[in-house]
Structure 1
Amino acid sequence: MTTTLATLTLDDRITGCLIGAAVGDALGGPVEGYSPEQIVERHGGRVHGIVGPWHGDAWRTARPLAPYHKGDGHITDDTLMTQALIRVYATVRDHLDAFSVADHLVPDLIAHPRWIPELEAEALPLQRVFLAEKWIVTRLHYGHNDPREAGVGNIVNCGAAMYMAPVGLVNAAHPTAAYAEAVDIASAHQSSYGREAAGVFAAAVSAACLPGATPASVVETALAVAKDGTQAAIEAVAEVAAEHSDFESALVPLRAAVAPFDTVGPDYRSPSLAARRPSRLHSIEELPIALGMVLVGGGDYRRTVLGAVNYGRDCDSIATMAGAVVGALHGASAVPVDWAKTVAEASRIDLHAPAAELAAVTREIFALDGERRRAHEAAFARLTRS
């Protein structure tokens, strides 16, 4: 019997979200940074699954990707950061804030060697993450900045948003709480529309966990919480996405819809002078496109993620976000088993253990929230007793 959206359990949604994000990440990695046209030329058509490195066996030395082995089912920093955040939740076992990043996430990045698939070696996660994530360590570990202000001055990109799925899951079915918690956490990492995207993505994941949720309801929730350029970008992309049910026809129109809000410019590898600077008028590209692909794909995992992958540009992060939302909507069965198996084996990671850990922590946090709510209600009753 087919499982319906209304009967999916919390554990199934968490598992689907996290596996869906990791598989999307791995599929998008080898074509990250290229245009749809370049992807077609390199692969003789659209990408339909897991592919090898862009430069083949020369990946160790080929620029601009060296020394990362992107492809063959390897996860990237999107999943490394997601799993690091899950470990913070497993340690704190309560809601997180910017100080949790300083107290727990930073030590995880700089003190605990882990297997890094793209390096094919055990190394500190700090040695793999991008400069925008290294900023966290610089500002908090070395600079001793106030965690709530540490994100100011960092490049404004998708770095904070890409790993916020766990926040949405901990706050499953409570999007406004997910938004607020992610905005707080991300203040240690980003500012402006990068921080805003983190909150909106967490809210989208939370909304996808609501019984009866659909791609349209997820986007409606994202629009309800989003501010400024992020809201405008999602609205523009969603309007165009509604006209398409096939990613092939949607690739160019979706890019045109988000272009006025994207600061990077038409050439992803040669950003404009105004790229990634704070602004109330702009948005990261990745989140609106991810939500657009969820609409185009109708919530189907394969169609949605392949659309995100073949979009190119920062497609590993786009596919991570899109895969997370669809996984939360439909559970673990939505993700192709062969893709998940290949990614787990190639990356030498257990895709199920972090999900089980986060599900347990989520239940503990919900119980704590209930206790806090009841204490507040009792106190308020005493205050208002006539």
Structure 2
Amino acid sequence: MTGTKGTTPTAASAPEPATPHTSLDDRIARSLTGAAVGDALGGPVEGWTPEQITERHGGRVHGIVGPWHGDDWRTARPIAPYHKGDGHVTDDTLMTHALIRVYEKVRDHLDAYAIAEHLVPDLIGTPRWIPELEAEALPLQRIFLAEKWLVARLHYGHIDPREAGSGNIVNCGAAMYMAPVGLVNAAAPRTAYAEALEVAAPHQSSYGREAAGVFAAAVAAACTPGATPTSVIDTCLALAKDGTRAAIEAVCEVASGHRDFESALRPLREAVTPFDTVGPDYRAPSLGARRPSRLHSIEELPIALGMLLIGEGDYRRTVLGSVNYGRDCDSIATMSGAIAGALGSEVPRDWAKTVAEASRLDLASPATALTTVTREIFARDTARHRTHEAAFTALAGTP
């Protein structure tokens, strides 16, 4: 499905409502597929305002659309000669799938050293199909500069993995691919938060790293049977620190007064503006943009949570709100799509089919692999807990 405007959704592809009984397997599959589809929907309108999106597409985007610059996609922006649109995923999904491959190798919880030992070699050692380049290439040749930092610091600089993120631009680069951490720690958001902070350490610092932890916690919380958008946001607020917490609170307070993204687009932007360092022109960041701070937040995570609340956890409503928000909307839709999927909301089948075919990606296999690893890790965690329980009881006596 290509062109200037997505088609109106049909009843046949309407998402199933979330239910407390949705299985772990389904939640992982819907979350990872939801992240990839959100990424693909948001890619072609990334960087633009809601008003520009409406003008370009003759209204709001309702599905998969073609490149912003049409057939000139390769030359219109020389710094980013990527075919964004037509169902192509971006670096958000490439990094998510790369992290899943690390879990497949380690088959246990990850730390910063696992990123150095496994993720970086994956980025620089194995050519893969890159949809936006329409060619096989090393993932390194597509990922953004903030992700290339991982290779420069860890492979070439041999920096301590737990310190390597310091000095990088502070953005959503680490947060955007942390859904697998939340899924591995399904229904254990505090553990997901802690693991994501460790996994993100080689990549980000300050509020960029904090957002990675909170996003993973949101995905883990969404997997809890009976979870709702409100319970997910409450979990995020209980864990988030400093500007990240303040931004989520401000955005979600505004979002709670809306049930349609159209009326919320401008109020949400106004709510997050005091915490966002990029400034009003997304493509021309302010002088103070992306610098460490305890007062600020990335824009993407609070807006994703706000859209989740407005969409009441429904995948289609949540992701379309994220896409039509503009700015860094591929990452916003990646995050909101992952959380909605983890809540149990099914991704429209026609969208998933188009993205899988256009991107030449098997969207099912990463979910199957991560589900197997998740069950193995849970078994290990259970055994470790029982060993600890026995040792503590011997040490402290029966309460």
TM-score, shorter chain, exceeding 0.5: yes
Matched, 1:88 2:122: no
Q: Deviations over 1:69-98 (max 9, x none)?
A: 000000000000000000000000000010
Q: Which residue of 1 aligns with 2:298?
A: 284
Instruction: Give the match's secondary structure for 2:129.
Output: strand
Whether the aligned pair in 2 keeps the contact of 1:59 and 1:65 (CA below 8 Å) is no
Residue of structure 1 aligned with 2:63, choices 49, 59, 66 = 49
Q: Report how far residue 134 of structure 1 moved.
A: 0.1
Does residue 1:221 correspond to 2:235, yes or no?
yes
Partner of 1:366: 378
Distance 1:348 1:30 in 2: 18
Structure 1: gaps of 5 or more residues: none
Aligned pairs for 1:4-19 (under 5 A) are 5-19=19-33
5+ long unaligned stretches in structure 2: 1-15
Letter in 2 for 1:206: A
Q: How does 1:1-386 map to 2 (within 5 A)?
A: 5-63=19-77, 66-331=80-345, 334-385=346-397
Report if the CA contact (8 A) 2:17-2:314 is conserved: no
Paired letter, 2:213: G
8 Å CA contact 1:161–1:198 kept in 2: the answer is yes
Identify, as 1 or 2, the structure richer in helix. 1
Deviations 1:6-41 (A, max 9, x none): 211100000000000000000000000011111111
Q: From the superposition, tell whether residues 210 and 345 of structure 1 become closer, same or farther in structure 2 (CA, over 3 Å).
A: same
The alpha carbon displacement at 1:65 in A equals: 6.0
Q: Which amino acid aligns with 1:306?
A: L
Separation (CA, whole Å) in 2 of partners of 1:51 and 1:96? 36
- Once residues 78 and 169 of structure 2 are traced to their aligned partners in structure 1, the CA distance between those partners, rounded to angstroms, is 20
* Whole-angstrom distance in 2 between the partners of 1:33 and 1:206: 29
| Residues 28 and 367, structure 2, Cα contact 8 Å, conserved in 1 | yes
Q: Partners of 2:325 and 2:21 in 1: how far apart?
A: 33
- Which aligned runs of 4 or more in structure 1 are off by greater than 2 angstroms? none
| Contact 1:30-1:71 within 8 A present in 2 as well | yes
Count of aligned positions: 383
* 2:42 aligned counterpart, secondary structure: helix
**Contact 2:18/2:343 (8 A) holds in 1:** no
CA distance in 2, matches of 1:154, 1:382: 47
User: d(CA) in 1 for partners of 2:393 and 2:225?
Assistant: 32
CA distance in 1, matches of 2:141, 2:64: 25
| Secondary structure in structure 1 of the residue aligned to 2:238 | helix
Q: TM-score, normalised by structure 1?
A: 0.98
Distance across 2 between alignment mates of 1:320 and 1:4: 18
Change in CA separation of 1:336 and 1:279 when aligned onto 2, cut-off 3 Å: same
What is the distance in 2 between the residues matched to 1:285 and 1:183?
18
RMSD of aligned residue pairs (Cα, Å): 1.0
Distance 1:311 1:385 in 2: 57
* Aligned partners of 1:305 and 1:322 also within 8 Å: yes
Deviations 1:164-193 (CA, angstroms, capped at 9, x unpaired): 000000000000000000000101100000
Deviation at 1:5, TM superposition (A): 1.8
Does the CA-based 8 Å contact 1:96-1:181 persist in structure 2?
Answer: yes
How far apart are 1:3 and its partner, in Å? 7.2
Q: Check the 8 A contact 1:178/1:202 in 2, yes or no.
A: yes
State the alpha-carbon separation in 2 of the partners of residues 323 and 266 from structure 1. Answer: 25
Q: 1:160 to 1:66 in 2, by over 3 A?
A: closer
Partner SS state of residue 265, structure 1: coil
Answer yes or no: is the 8 Å Cα contact 1:309–1:318 preserved in 2. yes
Structure 1 residues 187 and 78, CA gap change in structure 2 (3 angstroms): same
CA distance in 2: counterparts of 1:91 and 1:319, whole angstroms: 28
| AA of the residue aligned to 2:64 | I
State the alpha-carbon separation in 2 of the partners of residues 124 and 210 from structure 1: 37
Secondary structure of the 2:132 match is: helix
**Alpha carbons 1:20, 1:335 under 8 Å: kept:** yes
User: What TM-score, normalized to structure 2?
Assistant: 0.95
1:63 deviates by 1.5
SS of corresponding position for 1:119: coil
SS at match of 1:6: coil
Instruction: For residues 251-272 of structure 1, give each alpha carbon's deviation from its aligned partner in whole angstroms, at most 9, with x where no partner exists.
Output: 0000000000000000000100
Q: Distance in 1 between matches of 2:325 and 2:312?
A: 17
Distance in 2, Cα, partners of 1:65 & 1:51: 22
